[in-house]
């Protein structure tokens, strides 16, 4: 992307050389990203920054999922530069780069008006749960079901399960997440019927995505990781329709705030038989 000027700020592509400055910008938003997290986000997609006098003042990133879908996220403007239209500029630039794809994002209440003006509509709610003082436990699985580590032959099957659960082709993202994460598979009769991944992120670890055929299986997948990481900081982002929020509260993973799921275009179809019980991240969807 060629740099261009608007609202006294230049827009240009986010590059690897910007990662430290981008991470510092996220800190000004109150977000817990590490430089490594920003690098992974950029590797999976592309971004736009607003720059004024050599200082990054805003940014947004986007991720294409096949030819039909995409997500945008990590959208923010430094506190000193807010109210000057930079949020619209960087968001529109990323949208332009993704073309006519159906787009998904997760928004705060403050940003709803902006995203609605860009063609998005609210379709649901996601709740962020986190903490280190949580309780674990075990859940009995039905006969013929077991949990096992992700194996070398699993990635294609996991990507197919994810595609059914979220309605988007995220095979490349799932493959990259699997390299970064520890994974566990819900095995049913020798075939993957669900899975969960956990990776380093922010202040500790994030559990997600979690894809499962039912709530009991989803809880078993999540408890697998909680049992192995007692006393360590864990974050899980769960859609309201998954029905896990009150259960996570009871375990000691507090609900620290909602985000509003928004879509531009027709919401991706998610016919089942598996559902998404936790997100990879609010940015990735």
What are the tens digits of pLDDT across the range 256-269? 999 999 999 999 99
Domains in the chain with CATH codes: 4-100 (3.40.630.30), 129-257+269-278 (3.40.630.90)
What is the token pair recorded at 194?
């669900």
pLDDT band at 272 (very low <50, low <70, confident <90, very high): confident
Averaged pLDDT score across all residues of the chain? 94
What percentage of the chain reaches a pLDDT higher than 70?
97
Residue 190 has pLDDT above 60, yes or no: yes
**What are the pLDDT digits (tens) for 32-66?**
899 999 999 999 999 999 999 899 999 999 999 99
d(CA 87, CA 85): 6
Residues 76-126 have pLDDT tens digits of 999 988 888 999 999 999 999 999 999 999 999 999 999 999 999 999 999
Position 1 confidence tier, pLDDT thresholds 50, 70, 90: low
Q: What is the mean pLDDT of residues 203-227?
A: 97
Q: Is pLDDT larger for residue 45 or for residue 142?
A: 45
End-to-end CA distance of the chain: 25
What's the confidence (pLDDT) of residue 136? 81
Distance CA 212, CA 231 (A): 26
Nearest to 135 by CA among 237, 244, 248: 248
93, two tokens: 């630039």
* 196-207 average pLDDT score: 97
- Strand pairing of 204-212 and 182-188? unpaired
CA gap 92, 73 in Å, rounded: 12
Q: Is the pLDDT of residue 4 over 60?
A: no
Confidence of residue 6 (pLDDT cuts 50, 70, 90): very low
pLDDT attached to residue 86 = 94
Mean pLDDT to the nearest integer, 211-239 = 96
Q: How far apart are CA 246 and CA 127, in angstroms?
A: 10
Residue 7 has pLDDT above 70, yes or no: no
Strand partners, 48: 13, 60
- What confidence score (pLDDT) does residue 282 get? 96
Decide: 219 and 247 in contact? Cβ < 8 Å.
Answer: yes
Cβ–Cβ under 8 Å, residues 170 and 194 = no
How far apart (Å, rounded) are the C-alpha atoms in residues 191 and 182? 19
- pLDDT tens digits, one per residue of 163-188: 999 999 999 999 999 999 999 999 99
């Amino acid at each position: 992307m060629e740099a261009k000027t608007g609202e006294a700020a230049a827009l240009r592509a986010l590059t690897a050389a910007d990662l430290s400055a981008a991470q510092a910008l996220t800190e000004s938003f109150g977000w817990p990203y590490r430089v490594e997290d920003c690098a992974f986000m950029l590797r999976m997609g592309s971004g736009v920054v607003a720059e004024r006098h050599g200082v990054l003042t805003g940014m947004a990133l986007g991720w294409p999922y096949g030819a039909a879908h995409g997500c945008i996220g990590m959208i923010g403007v430094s506190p000193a530069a807010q109210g000057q239209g930079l949020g619209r500029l960087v968001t529109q630039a990323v949208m332009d780069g993704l073309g006519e794809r159906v787009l998904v994002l997760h928004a705060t209440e403050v940003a709803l008006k902006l995203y609605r003006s860009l063609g998005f509509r609210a379709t649901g709610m996601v709740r962020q749960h986190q903490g280190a003082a949580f309780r674990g436990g075990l859940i009995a699985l039905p006969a013929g079901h077991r949990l096992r580590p992700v194996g070398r032959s699993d990635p294609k099957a996991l990507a197919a399960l994810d595609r059914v659960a979220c309605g988007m082709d995220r095979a490349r993202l799932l493959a990259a997440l699997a390299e970064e994460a520890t994974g566990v598979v819900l095995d049913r009769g020798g075939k993957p019927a669900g899975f969960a991944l956990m990776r380093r992120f922010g202040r500790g670890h994030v559990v997600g995505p979690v894809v499962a055929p039912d709530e009991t299986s989803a809880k078993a997948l999540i408890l697998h990781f909680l049992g192995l990481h007692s006393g360590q900081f864990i974050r899980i982002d769960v859609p309201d329709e998954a029905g896990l929020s009150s259960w996570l509260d009871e375990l000691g993973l507090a609900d620290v705030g909602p985000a509003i799921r928004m879509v531009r275009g027709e919401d991706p179809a998610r016919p089942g038989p598996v559902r998404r019980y936790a997100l990879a991240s609010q940015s990735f969807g």
